[in-house]
A and B are shown apart, each in its own frame.
Chain A
């Protein structure tokens, strides 16, 4: 076997190295005092890995007979996922130190890295088998993450729901893949693309495959699991599922739709168009009435997935850039919101929206970060969300799809309504029902919030970020 194949997977190897070090440390560290250093070590190692992804030149090309592909684009996408995971790690620590979870602190990091490895494979896959393995690797351990607070009933419920849903969707996807294999006799993207044509077997296979992937990114009508899981899972996991996992899924969908199924575009274009509209509208409408902030953000992130589909739909280069840029901004905004939610929840055990009443009076900084986050999600300038929405709308408008743009824009107004609810609670409502205490956010979480805030403000105003993503291209 040629070892250069493995060198192509440098990022994966780096991740596996971090994973192995942490796993061994966790096993031998046990319950000793040495565990004090676990968290700094995990964050430092992973930060180095993330940084290396940006700085070190990565090889381009394919490995393992074309199963695995590395390009500038996949490297960029992996860097993006790394950044998200880094933020999750920073925010998770305080919760992990609590009584119920402290003993298994190390596992959390290790399991998260295992799912991340799966997402790497999803991003780099050029074969449906590898894509499927990546998706499985990414979702099975994620169920552990969702059920991590085993003493809390809701968390266990979330884990059970997640694993049932993800095995179901994997089954559906596998079924679809078997049809596709039957129709074309190959699983390689490049070999399949010219063979894809409009016949029943292919279309049926495609639809099952699509449904399976749509589960992962919670497109309507495959979104039912998301609110329950997001509500029950620990906040760090919710953040992870809503940001990192969704980003990887969107990317895989974009790639397969256009690289493999481009020839049957007429089949999926209108289908995805309708699903996009439905996702945006239903996510928005249901978010309005939520009283639990995590459920609230679950619906909000469903509608955000709809906006991302606007860029996926046309598959132009502008669209692709806009999608990645959107994911970046969405990551900063959502992570900022979840960072605040985590610090409120850790101290007070409260996740209802009323807990945020008068937050500006008790915790002005957290309230400001939260405000920036929701305004960015709503697309208010000069925050990143405005720019990312503009680019994604522009990519759809460039193809003449003004109706879709208009529907999406009207929906941003609806979304603004429910985002304003949070702002109203924090700034206007009287603090009586609120948490009423001054929170002390731990150091790592504060760093992550600062990073997110800088990201939210700078990513839009400084055009270099967009230029960098645009420069990577296909």
Chain B
């Protein structure tokens, strides 16, 4: 069996095993084994990919193809290039770390969590539009229960809003996908084959808008980002991690793999509209984060800003900026997962996320605080962490365009870095170093081993990318070459 399909089957088996398992110990064993195996499998897949890449120059590797619905040319087609490999590794790491952050959760939580990962992994390996869309929706629905049942605060409002907005996005998306299929001659649902046949230019415009908005909703495209702060704030820790860390990347990945890749002319001509929107999103998200008093809301707005940067870079349509976009997805995924896991630790002990009610945590829980500082530095783009590499690449790439419009937008977008520094440093100063606000907090303990494990795993990845970016950057850059070449044909 193809190694890529195994990535979908492992979480499926984990979920089925969970439904019949009893007792928390057993549940933990099953989940740890399942997601550990998933991580190993993802690494093995990456190694196989690298080996095959050395001998083959096909755009997609490790491919396999099974006919599913012949009348509609729907196949179950899987295959990966450098970008999907990176995304799969990211998902595996975050999902694995998320298990440890949710160590005390019950069986059903992990069952829906596994269902969520089936969708995520299936989405990244699919090359068939139908299968891709199916996995995309599979990833959305468990969120409702995960947030609604195990969330905090306005959880039902948040869960409903998130689900409906994302499903609204997929209404755009499905119309777009049907448009792609029928206007390209109704001969294939395979992305790589549709690229060959092409889509008539007059149809490209509306399809591009529909698919870009559809995926953009999940990628927190301004003004469709409003589900994100509420959703992330209400979700339980590991769900926020997986959602901000991985699920929002589904949006960015889709914009790039479907909207831009299949509709190159429309992308060239209409990118300015969406550049403005994402530009607003980047700056607005950063300013939005400044005024938040809730740690999770702050981080959610920060995610809107950072994910806006991903779409912003993708729309620049050149190889450097797009490399930066993928790096940013990777970096933001790890960093934000770390953030949410640490916020979860703090919230689990202090029972508040209000910045004004906390202070001096560095003395009380040194591990969590140091982790928080690291996540903060990665977020504001300090050299040595992954954030720096990603943002640097994005801005260099965006500035490569000679026209005034894109350069001005780039400059405006860079201001978000300064604003990020403001809210990160302010929070770090207030929450970690300020005077202790609540004497009760002095009695709290530091992170448990499983929480430490989760945080350390993520920090290692962030630092690894920060100090040795060329490894992953090379893979991404090479995989982008044929795509950018295709874009520049028009």
Contact = CB atoms under 8 A, between A and B. Distances in A.
Given A380-B137, A390-B130, A463 B148 contact: no
A397 B178 contact: yes
Nearest to B135: A381
A401 to B, nearest CB: 10
Contact of B179 (A318, A397, A466): A397
Interface stretch (A115-123, A138-146, A219-227, A416-424): A416-424
A363 interface: no
A416 B164 contact: yes
Nearest to B130: A390
B21 to A, nearest CB: 14
A413 B167 contact: yes
Interface string B162-175: 01100110011011
Interface of A is mostly: helix
B175 A409 contact: yes
Nearest to B141: A380
Interface string B61-76: 0000000111110000
Nearest to A403: B175
Nearest to B119: A381
B355 interface: no
B138 interface: yes
Q: How large is the interface on B (under 10, 10 to 19, 20 to 34, 35 or more residues)?
A: 20 to 34
A117 B4 CA distance: 51
A446 interface: no
A420 B140 CA distance: 13
A386 B171 contact: no
A171 B303 CA distance: 63
A16 B72 CA distance: 40
Nearest to A412: B171
B164 A381 contact: no
A318 B186 CA distance: 13
B138 A382 contact: yes
B442 interface: no
Interface of B is mostly: helix
Given A416-B164, A466-B71, A470-B71, A423 B178 contact: no
B164 A417 contact: yes
Interface in B134-189: 134-135, 137-138, 141, 144-145, 148-149, 155-156, 160, 163-164, 167-168, 171-172, 174-175, 178-179, 181-182, 186
Contacts of A420: 144, 160, 163
Nearest to B147: A428
Interface string B103-140: 00000000000000000000000000010001101100
Given A420-B163, A466-B69, A413 B182 contact: no
In this complex, the member of A375, A397, A427 whose beta carbon has the largest number of chain B beta carbons within 10 angstroms is A397
B164 A398 contact: no
A426 to B, nearest CB: 10
Contact of B148 (A394, A400, A417, A428): A428
Interface of A: 318, 321, 375, 380-382, 386, 390-391, 393-394, 397-398, 400, 402, 405-406, 409-410, 412-413, 416-417, 420, 423-424, 427-428, 463, 466-467, 470
The 8 closest A-B pairs by CB, nearest first: A409-B171, A397-B178, A381-B134, A428-B148, A406-B175, A413-B168, A413-B167, A381-B137
9 contacts: A394-B72, A394-B178, A397-B179, A402-B179, A427-B145, A427-B148, A428-B145, A428-B155, A463-B68
